[in-house]
A and B are shown apart, each in its own frame.
Chain A
Amino acid sequence: MSDRSQLIETGKPFIFDAQRDAEFERLVKRYPTRESMILPSLWLVQEQEGWISAEAMAYIADRIGTFPSMVYEAATFYTMYNLQPKGKYHICVCRTLSCYLLGKQEIVDYLKQELGIKPGEVSADGQFSLEEVECLGHCGSAPVVQVNGEFYEDMNVAKLKELLATLK
């Protein structure tokens, strides 16, 4: 595990847009305690901004009425929360067993070469970011790639080439 505790401060206050604000108010009624809103709120921030800044965490804590340290704990615990800006297209390649056996490494190697970045990095033009992730739950159609949350199944280099062409 790597250290994810170094948060990035944007220097600008964060606030939910109207859509996320409404979604927050809708979700908060679901739970017995307001603390339960920490994880959904972090998702809302990530949906809105693509990543979660220190200011956004403080905003969530304020909004929920809890300690910023609680939000900080949750955000750094779950690796699917991005704590730094990602590319316009965030590509996740599954590296867990089924995908591993069915050739995820070829996919990663191809992407590394094509995009010029290693997993965990963002391309210089800000278009792409690449990440190797744990099981995405699509073992039946491994290997699997996710682009901004969309699944692409039974992947191979040829299909990936087509996919990248549509993204560029």
Chain B
Amino acid sequence: MAEKVKLFVNGQEVEVEAGKNLIDAFGAIGIEIPHLCYHPALGADGNCRMCLVGIEDGRPPLVPACKTKVAEGMKVQLDAEKIKKIQRDIMELELINHPIDCPICDQAGECKLQDYYMKYDGQPSRMTVKPVLKAKKMDFGCGVVHDQERCVLCARCVRFTRLITKTGELGIVNRTDAARVNIFPGRPLNNRYALNVVDLCPVGAMTSRDFRFKQRAWFLTKSPSICHGCSKGCNIFIDHNREKYKDDVIYRYRPRLNEKVNGYFMCDEGRMTYKLENDNRLGTPRVNGREAGFDEAIESVRRAVSEAKKAVVLISPNASLEQMFAAQQFAAAINAPVSGYSDGYVKAGDGDDFLIKDDKSANRASFALLGIDDSKTAFEAALNGADLLLSFDNDLSRSLSGDALTQLLADTKLIMVASSQTDCVAKAAVAVPVASYSEDAGSLVNCDGRLQSYEVAVVKNQPAKSLIEVLHLCGGEIKSNQEARAGLQAAVAVLKDIDLEQIPAEGIALTESEVAHVAA
């Protein structure tokens, strides 16, 4: 456990983590110090002055909490009249030229300026002169739209591009009331993490072109999940909403803090993968090219399995650990070799040294855990003499060219259990829809060997069956995630001591020391 120090807040003794600044240390125990410019990932800038606090030790009257480390016996004053007045004055200053267009602002409901005004200010405006007008809906590139009038000049976005992406596209130009964030002429945002400035912005100055005007923030349900865009497994919030008389729809992904995986950020491509969860989904089962009922489709799968001379089971590298295990057990029961062949999910050379990985699937590491071979040679060997290929959400059209796929399907019947419409689904003899990860729960192992879990986020009006349920209906033993987890613990040595039902929020690194630590 981290070292603790004891200090006093408004005369009351509290115990907080040592080595942190006042904002973080007090934030962790539920005491809020208002701040606009400070962000844990970007460091203390000290420009907004909203976090000024008093320290009774002969220091200058007030100090910024973001730049002050906690110390044993420190006496911190948060509610002095002097501090309240400064907070009020800063809010008034920030609002002098603010357009107050909250009714049409995307940030409304999650806006620091709104929240702090209600909490620390609450006075009517005293301004009688015209506000300074600046540029609105500026296209900053990478899907970021900027409104200079809403900006509070906290410089979080500027610092993000300089410190995190090291691309430095943004700057604060001019000074005094003409100061504004801008790009250098002809050099818009050009990095793969640009949309993080939208999350970082404490107000509505940075908005996402993709999300603008789609939903009010307070209607969104924010469900924690894991991004399946690549093997990094960034922690995310799935923000979704079921509008009246409509279906549950995902509107955006936002990064969720996990110091051990993605920190505060995620990449733009991963952020946009929410569209795959909404659009182009496989809805109706198909048998031999025509729409069919679900039961009929399952029946044809069962018949095909029982009639097959040799079946091969192909598993998606995006499937959860539980789903992989259930499919593996199913394959063993019908005496079919298992493959995880999915070369098409890897985009060689696409990754970087921050969050983006070459492997665009979420759970390939589990193949190794379960001993599933994902090589092409093993897949081809398994197919030798096979007349039935059962693919569990593995889109072969990504790994094989159209010709190669057609050739393969010439003497092999393809059954696709799939979440979305693909070329492969179009060519399959039987297609059975299943829930995708946003509608299902499970565990994943990321590229660094970290085991993480996610829960059901979205519940559709007509929910698709989960992959494990479909496997069970097709004759598999395992009925649920719980059964799969019990089986996994018995079968996989490294998972023996891990409670798969309760994986900690930060995940578990599948190394001996950490597993032992969690088990103890």
| A76 adjacent to B174 (CB under 8 Å) | yes
**Does B176 lie within 8 Å of A73, measured CB to CB?**
no
Q: Which of B169, B174, B183 neighbours the largest number of chain A CB atoms within 10 Å of its CB?
A: B174
- Consensus secondary structure, chain B interface: mixed
Number of interchain pairs (Cβ within 8 Å):
61
Per-residue 0/1 for A67-108: is the Cβ within 8 Å of any B Cβ (1 yes, 0 no)? 111101100110000000000000000000000000000000
Q: Is the CB of A7 within 8 A of B170?
A: no
B185 touches A7 (CB 8 A): yes
Cross-chain contact of A1 among B168, B178, B184 (Cβ < 8 A) = B178
Complex contacts, B180 vs chain A, CB 8 Å: 3, 5
Q: Any chain A CB within 8 A of the CB of B427?
A: no
Known interface pairs A3-B178, A69-B168; A76-B184 also in contact (CB < 8 Å): no
Of the residues B134, B171, B174, B175, contact of A69 by C-beta under 8 Å? B171
B178 A73 Cβ-Cβ under 8 A = no
Query: Which residues of B have CB within 8 Å of A69?
Result: 158, 161, 168-171, 182-184, 187
Task: Tell whether, in the assembled complex, residue B185 and residue A4 are in contact, meaning their CB atoms are under 8 Å apart.
Answer: no
Chain A residues near B177 (CB-CB < 8 A): 1
A76 to B173, CA, bound (A): 6
A9 within 8 A of B: yes
**Is A3 a contact partner of B184 (Cβ separation < 8 A)?**
no
A4 interface neighbour in B134, B162, B167, B174, Cβ under 8 Å: B174
Instruction: Please tell me if A33 contacts chain B, counting CB pairs below 8 Å.
Output: no
Q: Which residues of the other chain, A, contact B182 by a CB distance below 8 angstroms? A: 5, 69, 72
- Please name the residue on chain A nearest to B158 by beta carbon: A69
A2 within 8 A of B: yes
Chain B residue, CB-CB nearest to A9: B185
Contacts of B31 in A (CB 8 A): none
- Beyond A1-B177, A2-B178, A67-B162, is A73–B187 a contact (Cβ under 8 Å)? no
A127 to chain B, nearest CB (A): 29
B332 at the interface (CB under 8 A from A): no
Return chain B residues, CB-CB under 8 Å to A58: 184
Chain A residues lying within 8 Å of B158, measured Cβ to Cβ, are 69
Are A4 and B173 in contact, CB atoms less than 8 angstroms apart? yes
Of B172, B184, B187, chain A has the most CB atoms within 10 Å of the CB of B184
Verify A4–B178 contact, CB threshold 8 A: yes
Task: Please tell me if the beta carbons of A72 and B168 are within 8 angstroms of each other in the complex.
Answer: no
Distance, CA A66 to CA B187, complexed state (A): 14
Of A9, A57, A77, the contact of B174 (CB 8 Å cutoff): A77
* CA distance in complex: A54, B167 (Å): 18
Kindly state the separation between the CA atoms of A77 and B175 in the bound complex, as whole angstroms. Answer: 5
Measured in the bound complex, the distance between the Cα atoms of B173 and A111 in whole Å is: 31
Q: Contact string, A41-57, partner B, CB cutoff 8 A, digits 1/0?
A: 00000000000001001
- How far apart are the CA atoms of A72 and B171 in the complex, in Å? 7
Most buried by B among A2, A58, A67, A77: A67
Most chain A C-beta atoms within 10 Å of own C-beta, residue among B162, B167, B177, B182: B182
Q: Is the CB of A70 within 8 A of B176?
A: no
Segment 148-198 of B: residues with Cβ below 8 Å from A: 158, 161-162, 167-178, 180, 182-187
Q: How far is the CB of B193 from chain A (nearest CB, A)?
A: 16
Chain A residues lying within 8 Å of B186, measured Cβ to Cβ, are 9, 54
B176 to chain A, nearest CB (A): 4
Query: In the bound complex, how far is the Cα of B511 from the Cα of A100, in angstroms?
Result: 75
Query: A77 contacts which chain B residues (CB < 8 A)?
Result: 173-175
Instruction: Determine the chain A residues whose CB is within 8 A of the CB of B175 once the complex forms.
Output: 1, 76-77
Residues of B within 8 A of A1 (CB): 174-178
Q: How far is the CB of B436 from chain A (nearest CB, A)?
A: 40
Given contact pairs A5-B182, A72-B182, A67 touches B169 in the complex (Cβ within 8 A): yes
User: How far does the alpha carbon of A66 sit from the alpha carbon of B168 in the complex, in Å?
Assistant: 8
- Residues of A4-24 whose CB lies within 8 A of B: 4-5, 7, 9
Please tell me if the beta carbons of A72 and B178 are within 8 angstroms of each other in the complex: no
Q: Which B residues lie within 8 Å of A3 (CB)?
A: 134, 174, 178, 180
CB distance from B154 to the nearest CB of A (A): 15
Q: How far is the CA of A3 from the CA of B173 in the complex (A)?
A: 9
| Shortest distance between the CB of B175 and any CB in chain A (Å) | 5
Nearest residue (CB) in A for B167 is: A67
Q: Is the CB of B173 within 8 A of A72?
A: yes
In whole angstroms, how far apart are the Cα atoms of A9 and B176 in the complex? 25
B197 shortest CB reach to chain A, Å: 13
**Chain B residues within 8 Å of A4, by CB:** 173-174, 178
A135→B479 CA distance, assembly (Å): 82
**A70:B185 contact, CB within 8 angstroms:** no
A5 to B161: give the CA distance in the assembly, Å: 19
- Give A54 to B186 CA distance when docked, in angstroms: 10
A11 to B171, CA, bound (A): 22
Binding site for A on B (CB under 8 A): 134, 158, 161-162, 167-178, 180, 182-187
User: Taking beta carbons and an 8 Å cutoff, which residues of A are in contact with B?
Assistant: 1-5, 7, 9, 54, 57-58, 66-70, 72-73, 76-77
A-B contact sample (15 more), CB < 8 A, given A72-B182, A73-B172 = A1-B175, A1-B176, A2-B178, A4-B173, A4-B178, A5-B174, A9-B185, A67-B167, A67-B171, A67-B184, A68-B184, A69-B183, A72-B171, A73-B173, A76-B174
26 contacts between A and B (CB under 8 A): A3-B174, A3-B180, A4-B174, A4-B178, A5-B173, A5-B174, A5-B178, A5-B180, A5-B182, A9-B186, A54-B186, A58-B184, A67-B168, A67-B171, A68-B168, A68-B184, A69-B161, A69-B169, A69-B171, A69-B187, A72-B173, A72-B182, A73-B173, A76-B173, A76-B175, A77-B173
